Structure 1
Amino acid sequence: MILKNKNNNFLLTLSIVLILMGIVIFSFFSQKRAPVTPEKASTEIRQIQTQSQSDDVEAIEKDINDTDLSEIDREISAIEKELNASY
């Protein structure tokens, strides 16, 4: 009788543990992640894409001087915020 009771307790405990593990695994994999939407290309990006193809020093210097990086800190902060929000 004692042996039968121990087997029943073990099977009941094992069943509960397996059910709980199944619930945890299901909830982990069924979490919906927020879709990442690409932002519209800013004028700086469009400007970088339209820079000259020349490898002359003067052309490179002109491209560097024409590139506006004044708001890069704000953009990096926004990217970090978006990455942290996804986890």
Structure 2
Amino acid sequence: RCHNCMINCPICYCRECIFRTPTFEHESQLLFQWAERKGTVRMLPDTLLFHLTRLNHMVTSCVGCGLCTDACPVDIPVGTVFRAVGEKAQAIFDYHPG
């Protein structure tokens, strides 16, 4: 959860990044209240939520510069993942960037 890929991305465009706000910072008591009211609380793990949100942004925007991959401290080929998902989504929607 270092967010290096996001920080180093030259096309990151959000004026206010949801991952730099308290949106997902909930007190544990609040989670218990939700669970009590609904019977359960289903939340994506922070890491998965972060990467799914990044994929949503990058699927049609990634320019393939590789800065995200270079910035990853655990050597995840982030750019390759963005490119693969982007190509599939663009094919499904017959979208041609540019």
Query: Does the pair score TM above 0.5?
Result: no
| Greater share of residues in helix | 1
Determine which structure has more spread, i.e. the larger CA radius of gyration: 1
TM-score by length of 1: 0.24
TM-score under structure 2 normalisation? 0.23
